[in-house]
């Protein structure tokens, strides 16, 4: 989930919230936010977000009577913005008690944190925390009077890390961890590998609905918005190169092309390169031209990286760029553009806006670097609430599943969200579009080897991304018979995948 870029948060106050004495209108001081008086404004922001979050709101309504999280005591550590507030309030409505901290020192919407504190949620977060404040806030959520947490909802793995290191006895009593980010999931797999993970954890980052919406559709919308906000650029007629034609790259290409850009793609993977070319050719229009970056770098007006890799744009590339070229990154980390190589004495840096730098060469040529190579969309714009609704519904269901699972269903390991729940998250959002599913007939269900109520796809099937098992025999099986019900019914593949599943999977 992303920080919101509303520009409305007030962080001009010099006094640290830790030094202030604040109470909400019910007299509670079990929170630490920038300014509790901002709560009314924050409440309006939450109400606006709810309008665009149909799935999580539907889940709230459907499960409110059952209270599936009754008895859950959740430590939350995520971005704190209007959309996450909708999640926090949903979890409470479903019966959970929560304590919440921010997973990022800059992303908290102060007015939203105030609204949550006013509503009685122990929130410890403000925009512009120091590193020390950051850990103090998480600590306040983990270690409090009369409080033994039993679930963690993490985005980046910091709450998990702190509890494991500082409160190991408390960590042992945790029933489950739900982790949203690539980084946090990576840390969990490392813990599991080192046999240090003593509780079950669910990787919601790789659930299909989340991946599709977060990576493809959301990036498709936010690339344009963030470039416009930061540079006021006109897109029509511009030449753009998008590095990496995965989910994020596909989304970026589609919208840039839609606004009249000539789009080039760079790829290392021949399948993605072929997809790039075929993106439009079936409609009789040229697809995206696929070239190595070196061959197009002199002509392009905008460079977008979306590979998840490092040093994709090097100093050598930047030396060749033309005057005024915009350089930005959509990938997870700031390693894709070698920004460090621009910090040399002959180049001058000029800050022109809060997230925009001009880097000027001795001959006067300048390139426009956005957010110093960090994710442009999360830094310079906001993420659609609808996308967060999908992620939030996924997180809530993962918490419900881990909290209510009978003993033995999950061991101390990292799991993907069961496919059936992934499908349920999508179904929660269908009424928004007045979309109605086709029901399988008994005969069809038998033919495909499926249950009529789902899941409709095997766990390894990831709507475009195949999660490959490590076992060679299973790889062969999937390679030769993915979805070929005449030879191996999907249900059987699924069964055999599950048999071999523990620790066998590598994630692409």
Ligand X SMILES: NC(=O)c1ccc[n+]([C@@H]2O[C@H](COP(=O)([O-])OP(=O)(O)OC[C@H]3O[C@@H](n4cnc5c(N)ncnc54)[C@H](O)[C@@H]3O)[C@@H](O)[C@H]2O)c1
**Under the rule (CB under 6 A), what is the footprint of ligand X?**
182, 214-215, 218-219, 243-249, 266-269, 272, 306-309, 312, 330-332, 375, 377-378
Minimum Å gap between C-beta 329 and ligand X is 8
Dig out the tokens for 474 from the structure.
Answer: 């299973």
Q: Which is nearer to ligand X, 140 or 250 (CB)?
A: 250
Minimum Å gap between C-beta 394 and ligand X is 14
Minimum Å gap between C-beta 470 and ligand X is 18
Q: Which is nearer to ligand X, 369 or 400 (CB)?
A: 369
Q: Which is nearer to ligand X, 204 or 306 (CB)?
A: 306
Minimum Å gap between C-beta 268 and ligand X is 4
E-strand stretches of 184-335: 201-203, 239-243, 262-266, 289-290, 302-305, 326-329
Q: How far is CA 173 from CA 150, 167, 200, in A?
A: 6, 10, 11
Q: Is 179 annotated as a binding residue?
A: no
Q: Which is nearer to ligand X, 215 or 230 (CB)?
A: 215
CA dihedral of 62, 65, 69, 71, whole degrees rounded to 10 = 180
Phi, psi of 505 (to 5 degrees): -95, 140
Minimum Å gap between C-beta 276 and ligand X is 9
Q: Which is nearer to ligand X, 150 or 305 (CB)?
A: 305
Q: Is 331 annotated as a binding residue?
A: no
Minimum Å gap between C-beta 239 and ligand X is 17
**3-class DSSP state of 474:** helix
Minimum Å gap between C-beta 48 and ligand X is 21
Q: Is 260 annotated as a binding residue?
A: no
E-strand stretches of 234-278: 239-243, 262-266
Q: Which residue is associated with the tokens 């704190």? A: 80
Residue 347: asked if its preceding bond is cis (omega within 30°), the reply is: no
- Does an H or E element contain 247, and which? helix 247-258
DSSP letter (8 states) at residue 439: P
Q: Which is nearer to ligand X, 150 or 230 (CB)?
A: 230
Question: What residue number has its CB nearest to ligand X?
Answer: 246
Alpha-carbon distance of 410 to 199, in angstroms, equals 9
Q: Is 176 annotated as a binding residue?
A: no
Alpha-carbon distance of 377 to 152, in angstroms, equals 27
Minimum Å gap between C-beta 181 and ligand X is 8
Q: How many helices (H) and strands (E) does the chain have?
A: 20, 17
Dig out the tokens for 318 from the structure.
Answer: 């930047």
- Does an H or E element contain 136, and which? helix 131-142
Q: Which is nearer to ligand X, 133 or 247 (CB)?
A: 247
Q: Which is nearer to ligand X, 180 or 401 (CB)?
A: 180
Q: Which is nearer to ligand X, 66 or 269 (CB)?
A: 269
Per DSSP bridges, beta strands 366-370 and 326-329 are parallel
Q: Is 35 annotated as a binding residue?
A: no
Q: Is 247 annotated as a binding residue?
A: yes
| Alpha helices by DSSP H, 80-130 | 82-93, 110-118
Alpha-carbon distance of 270 to 225, in angstroms, equals 30
**3-class DSSP state of 352:** strand
CB 100 within 8 A of CB 151: no
Alpha-carbon distance of 122 to 109, in angstroms, equals 15
Would you list the DSSP string of 373-424? GSBHHHHHS---HHHHHHHHHHHHHHHHHHHHPPTTSS-SSEEEPPHHHHHH
Q: Which is nearer to ligand X, 162 or 393 (CB)?
A: 393
Minimum Å gap between C-beta 310 and ligand X is 8
Count of CB atoms situated within 10 Å of the CB of 215: 20
Minimum Å gap between C-beta 5 and ligand X is 13
Q: Which residues are annotated as a binding site?
A: 246-251, 267, 377
**Which residues does the annotation place in the binding site for NAD(+)?**
246-251, 267, 377
């Amino acid at each position: 989930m992303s920080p919101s870029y509303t520009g409305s948060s007030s962080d001009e106050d010099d006094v640290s919230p830790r030094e202030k004495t604040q109470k909400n209108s019910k007299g509670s001081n079990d929170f630490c936010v920038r300014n509790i008086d901002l709560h009314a404004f924050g409440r309006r922001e939450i109400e606006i977000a709810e309008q665009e979050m149909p799935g999580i709101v539907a889940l709230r309504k459907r499960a409110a009577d059952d209270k599936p999280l009754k008895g859950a005591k959740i430590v939350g550590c995520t971005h704190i913005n209007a959309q996450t507030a909708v999640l926090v309030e949903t979890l409470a409505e479903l019966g959970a008690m929560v304590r919440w901290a921010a997973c990022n020192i800059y992303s908290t919407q102060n007015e939203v944190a105030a609204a949550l504190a006013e509503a009685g949620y122990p929130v410890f977060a403000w925009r512009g925390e120091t590193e020390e404040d950051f850990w103090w806030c998480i600590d306040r959520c983990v270690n409090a009077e009369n409080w033994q947490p039993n679930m963690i909802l993490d985005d980046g793995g910091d709450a998990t890390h702190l509890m494991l290191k500082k409160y190991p006895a408390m960590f042992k009593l945790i029933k489950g961890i739900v982790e949203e980010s690539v980084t946090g999931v990576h840390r969990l797999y490392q813990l599991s590998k080192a046999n240090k993970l003593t509780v079950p954890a669910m990787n919601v980052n790789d659930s299909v609905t989340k991946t599709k919406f977060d990576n493809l559709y959301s990036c498709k919308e936010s690339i344009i918005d963030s470039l416009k906000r930061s540079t006021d650029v006109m897109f029509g007629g511009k030449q753009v190169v998008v590095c990496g034609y995965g989910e994020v790259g596909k989304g970026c290409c589609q919208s840039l092309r839609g606004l009249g850009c000539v789009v080039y793609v760079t790829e290392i993977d021949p399948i993605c390169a072929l997809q790039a070319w075929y993106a439009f050719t079936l409609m009789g229009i040229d697809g995206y031209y696929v070239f190595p970056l070196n061959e197009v770098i002199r002509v392009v007006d905008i460079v977008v990286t979306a590979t998840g890799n490092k040093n994709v744009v090097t100093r050598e590339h930047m030396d060749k760029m033309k005057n005024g070229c915009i350089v930005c990154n959509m990938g997870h980390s700031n390693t894709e553009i070698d920004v460090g190589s621009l910090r040399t004495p002959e180049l001058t840096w000029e800050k022109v806006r809060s997230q925009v730098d001009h880097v000027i060469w001795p001959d006067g040529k300048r390139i426009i670097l956005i957010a110093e190579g960090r994710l442009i969309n999360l830094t310079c714009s906001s993420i659609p609430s609808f996308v967060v609704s999908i992620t939030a519904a996924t997180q809530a269901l993962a918490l419900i599943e881990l909290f209510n699972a009978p003993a033995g269903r999950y061991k101390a390991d990292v799991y993907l969200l069961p496919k059936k729940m992934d499908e349920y998250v999508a179904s929660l959002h269908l009424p928004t579009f007045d979309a109605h599913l086709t029901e399988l007939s008994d005969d069809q269900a038998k033919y495909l080897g499926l249950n009529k109520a789902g899941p409709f796809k095997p766990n390894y099937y990831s709507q475009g991304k195949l999660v490959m098992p490590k076992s060679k025999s299973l790889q062969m099986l999937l390679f030769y018979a993915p979805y070929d019900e005449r030879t191996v019914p999907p249900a059987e593949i699924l069964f055999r995948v599950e048999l071999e599943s523990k620790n066998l999977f590598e994630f692409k």
